[in-house]
């Protein structure tokens, strides 16, 4: 059910991009009760002029390696689950890729279950 969009600076290797996707997927399954095999991700690279991330908003110092992760998912998860997800992603990316925790921006977009069609022109969760 989640649809993940990962936007990152151009020039990262295929292995780097794949690892980012893996970390996000594992964090979703381990912290937010996302079923296994429910993996839908769009990973896109952007030139510096096309990926605008404020370097100091809220007193967080971000580098040129900052990434944006947007997850569209069913509504209803608790704040505790969301916070666990944010931490798991930031910690996982730091551990696996050396990405600074400050450089991980995550936005969740919650939708009702009837807003999905996984194919066949049907609303499988409606």
On whether residue 126 sits in a domain, the answer given is no
Q: Point out which residues pair with 104 in neighbouring strands.
A: 67
For position 81, what pLDDT does the model report? 97
Cβ atoms 84, 48 nearer than 8 A:
no
On whether residue 45 sits in a domain, the answer given is yes
On whether residue 30 sits in a domain, the answer given is yes
Average pLDDT (3-28) is: 98
For position 1, what pLDDT does the model report? 77
For position 68, what pLDDT does the model report? 98
On whether residue 29 sits in a domain, the answer given is yes
> Tens digits of per-residue pLDDT, 100-119?
999 999 999 999 989 989 99
Q: Can 2 be counted among the known catalytic residues? A: yes
Q: Which of 2, 9, 48, 55 is catalytic?
A: 2
On whether residue 84 sits in a domain, the answer given is yes
> Tens digits of per-residue pLDDT, 18-69?
999 999 999 999 999 999 999 999 999 999 999 999 999 999 999 999 999 9
On whether residue 13 sits in a domain, the answer given is yes
Say which CATH number the domain at 81 has: 3.30.429.10
Burial tier of 50 (Cβ tally within 10 Å: 0-12, 13-18, 19+): exposed
Backbone angles phi, psi at 80, to 5 degrees: -60, -45
Global pTM reads 0.94
For position 125, what pLDDT does the model report? 84
**Residue written as token pair 């296994």:** 36
Cβ atoms 87, 101 nearer than 8 A:
no
**Angle subtended at Cα 124 by Cα 3 and Cα 38, rounded to the nearest 5 degrees:** 35
Q: What is the distance in angstroms between the CA of the first residue and the CA of the last residue of the chain?
A: 12
For position 107, what pLDDT does the model report? 98
For position 113, what pLDDT does the model report? 87
On whether residue 83 sits in a domain, the answer given is yes
pLDDT band at 71 (very low <50, low <70, confident <90, very high): very high
On whether residue 42 sits in a domain, the answer given is yes
Q: Which domain holds residue 99?
A: 3-113
> Tens digits of per-residue pLDDT, 76-107?
999 999 999 999 999 999 999 999 999 999 99
Total structural domains in the chain?
A: 1
């Amino acid at each position: 059910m989640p649809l993940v969009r990962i936007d990152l600076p151009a020039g990262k290797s295929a292995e780097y991009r794949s690892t980012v996707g893996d970390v996000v997927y594992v964090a979703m399954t381990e912290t937010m009760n996302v079923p296994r095999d429910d993996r839908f991700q769009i990973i896109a690279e952007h030139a510096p002029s096309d990926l605008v991330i404020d370097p100091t908003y809220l007193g967080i110092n971000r580098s040129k390696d900052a990434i944006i992760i947007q997850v569209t998912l069913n509504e209803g998860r608790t704040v505790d689950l969301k916070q666990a997800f944010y931490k798991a992603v930031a910690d996982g990316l730091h551990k696996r890729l050396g990405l600074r925790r400050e450089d991980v921006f995550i936005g969740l977009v919650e939708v009702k279950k009837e807003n999905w069609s996984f194919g066949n022109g049907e609303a499988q969760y409606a």
